[in-house]
A and B are shown apart, each in its own frame.
Chain A
Amino acid sequence: MIINLEYVYYIAGLFMGFIAFLSFRDTTNPKRFLTGTFWGLFAISFLFGKLIPPMIMGVLVIAMALIAGIGGVRMGKHEQASEEQQEASARKMGNKLFIPALLIPVVTIVCSLGLKNVQIGGLYLLDSKNVTLVSLGVACVVALIVALSITKSKPVQSVKESRRLIDAIGWASVLPQMLATLGGLFAAAGVGKVISELVSSAIPVDNKFLVVVAYVVGMALFTMVMGNAFAAFPVMTAGIGIPLILQMHGGDAAVMAAIAMYSGYCGTLLTPMAANFNIVPAALLDLPKYDVIKAQVPTALILLTVNVFLMYFLVF
C-alpha cells in the first residue's frame, strides 16, 4: 500500500515531538523537564514503536506512568486570544471557520468509502486493513492545510494553539491506550477462567433469567472496571456466555453477542476508566471531572434494564 497507517503515526510522532520541545522551553512550567520527557516518550512510541524491542517499549511505557504518577505532567502558560479578538475575528471570517472542522469527517468518509479499493501500479493507495484510520490521518492533514490558508497563519501557530488543548487534557490523553494495554495483560494471565468458576458457585445456573442477569450486568460491571467493553467481552463470554447461556440453555449466539456488547457499552457510559469518552471530554469542555458520567447515569441504567429483558426474550 502507498499510504500506510505507520505514516499517520509518524505525523502524530513529529507533532508530539514538537509539543515536547515547546514544553522543555516553557519556563513558566515548574515541571517543564518532566512534562517534556513525558510527551517526548509519547512521541517516541509513535515514531519508533515498531522498531524498539517490545520489552524496552514496556519499560518506556512504565516510565511515562511514573512521570504522571509523581505529578510531573503540568500545564504551562499559554498566550490566548482575548474574547474580543475572537469575536472580531469571527465577524471577519464568518462561516468559513467551519470549513476545516467539517473537512475532518467529510474527507475521512470520502477517503474511506471512495478510495478504499483504489490501486496505483498494483498497490493499494490506502492501507486496506486500516482504511478509516488512514483516512482520518489524511483528513487531518488536508483540514490543517485549509485552516492555515483560511486564517493565513504559520504552521507553528497551530502547534502552539494545540499545546493549550493538550496541556488541558494532560496525562489523560494516554489513558485509553494504557487501559487497552491492561486488557492484554488480563488476557495473558487468564482472568476469564477464574470469573467463570466464581459465577458458577454464586448463582443457581439452571435459572435462565438469573444467568442472563449475571451475563448482562457482569458485562456492564466488568466494562466499568476495565474501562473498555472490548476487553470485557472475551472474559465474560468465555466465563459466562458460552458455557451457561449457549451450551447449557441453548441460546442464540448472534443475539447474545450483540446485546452483550451493548450492555458493556452501558458500563462504558458509567466509568471514569473509559477516559477518552468520559474524562477527556469533561476536560475539553472545562467541566468538573465526573459531570459527563453523571449526565449519562439515567440513560445507561434504564438501557441496561431493557437489555436484560431483550436478551431474556430474544436469546432463547
Chain B
Amino acid sequence: MLTLIGVLIVIVGFALRFNPLIVVTVAGIATGLAGQLSMEKILTTFGESFVNNRYLSLFILTLPIIGLLERYGLKKQAQALISKVAVATTGRLLMVYLFIREAAAAVGLTAIGGHAQMVRPLVSPMAEAAAENKYGNLTEKVRNRIKSMSAATDNVGLFFGEDIFIAFGAILLMKGVYEENGIVVEPIHMALWGIPTAIAAFIIHGVRLYLLDKKLQKEAAANDNSNQNKSA
C-alpha cells in the first residue's frame, strides 16, 4: 500500500500547484523509499531513466528553424496564404488537418505535424485567419478557442493514428509486456484492433469541429445584432 504514496504525492502536488518538476522528483524518491530501494538505487534509476528518455526532448532542435522563420514573417505569410483560400472555414480546415495527421501517423509518418513544427507556425494561424476572413476581428476568447482546438486536433490525430503502425513504440511495448508474462501476440493483430477506436476518434472529433464552425457563425451573428442595436 505504501508504494502508492508516489501516486498520492503527484495528485496532491499538482492540485496544490507546486512546481511539477519538484513534485515528480519528490514522488519518485518517496516511491523508491516505500518500495525499499536504497538511496543509491533511486539516484541511479533517476540518472538512467533521464538519459534513456532524452529523445523526448529532441523537439528543441526544431526551435532555431521556427524562431528564425518567425522573425522573417512565417506567421504573417501563413495568414496571407489562407486569406486567399475562399472556401476554407476554421472547422473544415482543421478537419482536413485531422485527417492528414491521423492518416500519416497510421503509416508511421508521425513527423508530419507537431506543435512546434506545424501547429504554432502554420495550422493555428491559418485557422485563426479563416475565422478572421469570415467574421472580421476576433475577440481574445474566440481566438483562444480556435488556438486550443488547433492544438487539440493535432493531439487527437497523432494519438489515434499512431498505434495502427506496427513499428511504433506502443505496439512494441505491448508485445514486450505480454512476452514478460508468457503471452505471444503478433504485432499486426494489435495494430489492426486499434482501427475501430481510430475511426471512432476521427468521427467524434470531426463532429466537434463541425460544431465549432456553427458556434463561430452563431456568435458572429449575435455580435452583428448587438452592434446594430447600439447604432440604432
A interface residues with partner B (beta carbon < 8 Å): 5, 8-9, 11-12, 15-16, 42, 45-46, 49-50, 52-62, 64-66, 68-69, 71, 80-81, 83, 85-91, 93-95, 97-98, 100-101, 104-105, 108-109, 112, 130, 132-133, 135-137, 139-140, 143-144, 147-148, 151, 153, 157-166, 171-186, 188-191, 194-195, 225-226, 229-230, 233-234, 237-238, 242, 246, 253-255, 257-259, 261-262, 265, 268-269, 272-273, 275-278, 280-282, 284-288, 291-292, 294-296, 298-299, 302-303, 306-307, 310, 314
A95 interface neighbour in B28, B81, B111, Cβ under 8 Å: B81
Q: Chain B contacts of A226 at CB under 8 A?
A: 10
Q: Smallest Cβ distance from A93 to chain B, in angstroms? A: 6
A87–B117 CB distance below 8 A? no
- Per-position contact with A for B136-172: 1 when CB-CB < 8 Å, else 0? 0000000011011111101110011001000001100
B66 beta carbon closer than 8 Å to chain A: yes
A258 to B54, CA, bound (A): 26
Q: Chain B contacts of A269 at CB under 8 A?
A: 152, 155-156, 159
B221 beta carbon closer than 8 Å to chain A: no
B4–A194 CB distance below 8 A? yes
| Contact-residue bracket for chain B | 35 or more
Q: Chain B contacts of A181 at CB under 8 A?
A: 24, 28, 45-46, 49-50, 53
A55–B40 CB distance below 8 A? yes
Known: A104-B111, A273-B10. A299 touches B201 (CB 8 A): yes
Q: Chain B contacts of A178 at CB under 8 A?
A: 20-21, 24-25, 50
A182–B27 CB distance below 8 A? yes
A285–B147 CB distance below 8 A? yes
A86–B72 CB distance below 8 A? yes
Known: A49-B51, A255-B193. A151 touches B72 (CB 8 A): yes
B67–A165 CB distance below 8 A? yes
A112 to B81, CA, bound (A): 30
- B113's nearest neighbour on chain A, judged by CB, is A105
Q: Smallest Cβ distance from B151 to chain A, in angstroms? A: 4
Beyond the given pairs A160-B67, A262-B198, 12 more chain A to chain B contacts, judged by CB atoms under 8 angstroms and listed by A's residue number, are: A58-B45, A86-B75, A101-B65, A161-B70, A166-B60, A188-B45, A254-B186, A258-B193, A276-B59, A277-B115, A294-B148, A299-B205
Known: A140-B65, A177-B56. A182 touches B28 (CB 8 A): yes
Q: Chain A contacts of B11 at CB under 8 A?
A: 225
A303–B177 CB distance below 8 A? no
A303–B201 CB distance below 8 A? yes
Q: Chain B contacts of A188 at CB under 8 A?
A: 32, 35, 37, 41, 45
List the one stretch of B85-93, B119-127, B223-231 in contact with chain A.
Answer: B119-127
B interface residues with partner A (beta carbon < 8 Å): 1, 3-4, 6-7, 10-11, 14, 18-22, 24-25, 27-28, 31-32, 34-35, 37, 40-78, 80-81, 108-113, 115-122, 124, 144-145, 147-152, 154-156, 159-160, 163, 169-170, 173-174, 177-178, 181, 183, 185-186, 189-194, 196-198, 200-201, 204-205, 208
- B153's nearest neighbour on chain A, judged by CB, is A295
A185–B163 CB distance below 8 A? no
Top 4 nearest A-B pairs (CB, nearest first) are: A189-B35, A90-B73, A161-B67, A57-B47
B47–A303 CB distance below 8 A? no
B117 interface neighbour in A104, A112, A130, Cβ under 8 Å: A104
Tally the A-B contacts, defined by beta carbons under 8 Å.
426
Q: Chain A contacts of B24 at CB under 8 A?
A: 65, 175, 178-179, 181-182
Q: Among B18, B41, B148, which residue has the most Cβ atoms of chain A within 10 A?
A: B148
Q: Chain B contacts of A151 at CB under 8 A?
A: 68-69, 71-72
A232 to B54, CA, bound (A): 20
Q: What are 28 contact pairs spanning A and B, CB under 8 A?
A: A5-B55, A15-B61, A57-B50, A66-B25, A68-B19, A80-B71, A89-B71, A105-B109, A136-B58, A137-B58, A144-B64, A153-B68, A162-B66, A165-B63, A165-B66, A174-B57, A177-B50, A178-B25, A180-B49, A181-B50, A185-B28, A185-B45, A185-B49, A188-B41, A257-B193, A258-B174, A295-B148, A299-B152
A88 to B122, CA, bound (A): 18
A186–B60 CB distance below 8 A? no
A33 to B145, CA, bound (A): 37
A257 to B183, CA, bound (A): 12
A242–B181 CB distance below 8 A? yes
B3 interface neighbour in A15, A59, A191, A276, Cβ under 8 Å: A191
Q: Among A57, A80, A137, which residue has the most Cβ atoms of chain B within 10 A?
A: A57
Q: Chain A contacts of B190 at CB under 8 A?
A: 254, 257-258
Q: Chain B contacts of A254 at CB under 8 A?
A: 185-186, 189-190, 192-193
Q: Smallest Cβ distance from B108 to chain A, in angstroms? A: 8
Q: Smallest Cβ distance from B69 to chain A, in angstroms? A: 6
A177–B160 CB distance below 8 A? no
A262 to B48, CA, bound (A): 28
A295–B149 CB distance below 8 A? yes
A144 interface neighbour in B60, B65, B72, B201, Cβ under 8 Å: B65
Q: Smallest Cβ distance from B82 to chain A, in angstroms? A: 12
